[in-house]
Amino acid sequence: MAATPRGAGDRSRSAQQPAAQAERRADARRNIRAILDAAQVCLARDADASVADIAKAAGVGRVTLYGHFKTRADLVDAVLTRTMEQSDAALDAIDTAGDPRQALTRLVGASWQIVHQLHSVLQAAQRELPPERIRAVHDRTLHRVQTIIDRGRGSGAFRDDLPARWLVTTAFSLMHAAAEDTAAGRLDADDAARVVSATLLAALTAPGSAVPTPAL
Amino acid sequence: MAATPRGAGDRSRSAQQPAAQAERRADARRNIRAILDAAQVCLARDADASVADIAKAAGVGRVTLYGHFKTRADLVDAVLTRTMEQSDAALDAIDTAGDPRQALTRLVGASWQIVHQLHSVLQAAQRELPPERIRAVHDRTLHRVQTIIDRGRGSGAFRDDLPARWLVTTAFSLMHAAAEDTAAGRLDADDAARVVSATLLAALTAPGSAVPTPAL
DNA sequence: GCCAACTTGAACACTGATGTTCAATTTCTG
DNA sequence: CAGAAATTGAACATCAGTGTTCAAGTTGGC
């Protein structure tokens, strides 16, 4: 038989998960994991790694890969989704209560490594997937930041003179910039979290107020 | 004869200019301009517009284009170079003396539209050209910002607790983020300059100092 | 141990782009 | 106006990646 025991593309539109994993055989599940792992690594290194590269890295035949992911886009989508879910899980552990400034600092500390890793995968996704899909995947993370910022605005900790949306953008933008600078060797990885937090906290401070000292 | 009267790829490595324009015939010069103009427009709209698209937009045969630009990469390089030169020229008109905060605000005001336009061209370049080339093209602009920031640090107007390099990155990052948000309709174009300046000035403020009010 | 699920490599068709060649024409320039 | 420079479309050679098919082999589950 062919390599497609169960349709991987039966979902209305852009399919994600390779169908119900639970029902497939053990070796299939194992391979799917291996493929996703390999894809994550390969795409992180090179945003347009070929399907062949990924299959090889997963120690799997190309045909097998296509058996589980109908198209390259499907695979990328699956990797992105999975990475974001992992991130969300990790970020769920962060305490976002208390002083918004401290909460944000904690969030940045926990996020920035993830962003670093995600960065290249995201690039791959942006070339392959429709913008709304990218947006959708980011939704939870976006809200997380949004919530803290909103709370900070309410308590007067953060500035109120700029669109809330923009402040969220600022946070993401700085994280990605730090990731890129680190990758390019222009920023010390151990220093990055501190640098980003310090910059972001200042950026969020209302005109007229004093910028909080990093050693808060 | 073929369409290549004078070599466009004789420069040691990555060729830029399509050889000495002055010596070519009037129609050739006209076409080169048309091609660059079209490429700028096309690439701004879609970072991976095809050579065929660009030629058509320029009202020129594909062969003619290849007569002037040996490869697609050459063309992209030429467009990038030219755009940056135009930008530099425009930015030369800006007064960078006086209060660093005001100087930076002026620079942001003048730059951000350019960044907006450049944004997609840059993306194209990043996929096609070696990183060092990208870096090299940005050099002058980078220095311009660097200089103001250094001056601000000297006078105590800007923070001293983060790497100068990072502050420059921050400036660029915010500009590009604004460009993207504007393109996506998440930020009002008329508001963008103000928003970026306000954010950047706050980000550059030293911990313990008050953020300058936008209405400076 | 049986059967279906799964994997595999080789081979193939397809696509979309780049870059080249040609022979015929048009258009500058002196 | 004459000749060189430049343009042109059509046709072609590549090329790299995607996605499919096939027939034969493994492997897991019951």
CA of B200, closest CA in chain A: separation in Å? 7
* A205 close to B (CB below 8 A): yes
Whole-number pLDDT of residue A215: 63
> How large is the greatest C-alpha to C-alpha distance in chain B, in angstroms?
71
CA of A152, closest CA in chain B: separation in Å? 16
pTM, full prediction: 0.89
A210 φ/ψ angles, rounded to the nearest 5 degrees: -85, 140
Residues having Cβ less than 7 A from any atom in strand C: A 1-3, 5-6, 24-25, 27-28, 31, 59-64, 67-68; B 1-3, 25-27, 50-52, 62-63, 66, 70-73
Q: Which residue is nearest to nucleotide C7 (CA to C1')?
A: A64
Residues from chain B that touch A161, judged by Cβ atoms under 8 A, are 198, 214
SS3 per residue for B59-127: CCCHHHHHHHCCCHHHHHHHHHHHHHHHHHHHHHCCCCCCCHHHHHHHHHHHHHHHHHHHHHHHHHHHH
Q: Is the CB of B67 under 7 A from strand D?
A: yes
The token duo for B6 is: 């004078």
Cβ contact B202–A165 (<8 Å): no
Q: Cα(A112)–Cα(A179) distance, rounded to whole angstroms?
A: 7
Residues 179-198 of B with CB under 8 A from A: 181, 184, 186-187, 191, 195, 198
Whole-number pLDDT of residue A127: 94
Nearest alpha-carbon partner for A144 in A178, A199, A107: A107
Residues from chain B that touch A181, judged by Cβ atoms under 8 A, are 165-166, 169
CA of A128, closest CA in chain B: separation in Å? 12
**pLDDT tens by residue, chain B, 216 residues:** 444 454 433 333 344 455 556 689 999 999 999 999 999 999 999 999 999 999 999 999 999 999 999 999 999 999 999 999 999 999 999 999 999 999 999 999 999 888 988 899 999 999 999 999 999 999 999 999 999 999 999 999 999 999 999 999 999 999 999 999 999 999 999 999 999 999 999 999 999 999 999 765
Cβ contact A161–B214 (<8 Å): yes
Whole-number pLDDT of residue A2: 41
Whole-number pLDDT of residue B113: 84
Whole-number pLDDT of residue B26: 97
Whole-number pLDDT of residue B9: 38
Task: Measuring from the CA of residue A5 to each C1' atom, give the nucleotide at the shortest distance.
Answer: C5
Render pLDDT for B13-50 as a digit per residue (tens, 0 to 9).
344 455 556 689 999 999 999 999 999 999 999 999 99
Whole-number pLDDT of residue A121: 95
Taking only Cα atoms into account, the Rg of chain A, rounded to an integer number of angstroms, comes to 20
> Which DSSP string do the residues of chain A spell out, in sequence order?
--S-SS-SS-SSSS--S-S-GGGS-HHHHHHHHHHHHHHHHHHHH-TT--HHHHHHHHTS-HHHHHHH-SSHHHHHHHHHHHHHHHHHHHHHTS---S-HHHHHHHHHHHHHHHHHHHHHHHHHHHHHS-HHHHHHHHHHHHHHHHHHHHHHHHTTSS--SS-HHHHHHHHHHHHHHHHHHHHTTSS-HHHHHHHHHHHHHHHHSPTTSBPPPTT-
Contacts of A119 (CB under 8 A, 6+ apart): A44, A176, A179, A180, A183
Q: Can you list the residues of chain A whose pLDDT is less than 70?
A: 1-22, 215-216
